[in-house]
């Protein structure tokens, strides 16, 4: 079985080195707002599928 802790450490180091999650705010760029899906009205009946729908825009 894979050593998941070792794998996670490898990728965390790479992402930190590459500044993968660093935000560079450029005030000269035009701002925009993206609404992928309307919020779920009641919150009841949520399931794992909702994670797939809402995650795609973050990738």
Q: Going residue by residue through the chain, which has 59 residues, state the pLDDT in tens, using 9 for 90 and above.
A: 678 999 999 999 999 999 999 988 888 888 888 776 666 666 666 666 667 666 766 66
Compute CA distances 54 → 9, 24, 32, 36, whole Å: 26, 23, 18, 7
Place of tokens 């701002």: 31
Q: What is the pLDDT of residue 14?
A: 97
Closest CA to 40 of 54, 26, 52: 54
pLDDT of residue 16: 96
Q: What is the DSSP letter of 37?
A: S
- Res 32: pLDDT: 82
pTM, entire model = 0.44
């Amino acid at each position: 079985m894979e050593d998941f802790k070792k794998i996670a450490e490898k990728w965390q180091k790479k992402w930190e080195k590459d500044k993968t999650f660093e935000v560079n705010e450029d005030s000269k760029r035009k701002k925009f707002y993206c609404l992928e899906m309307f919020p779920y009205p009641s919150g009841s009946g949520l399931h794992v599928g909702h994670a797939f729908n809402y995650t795609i825009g973050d990738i």
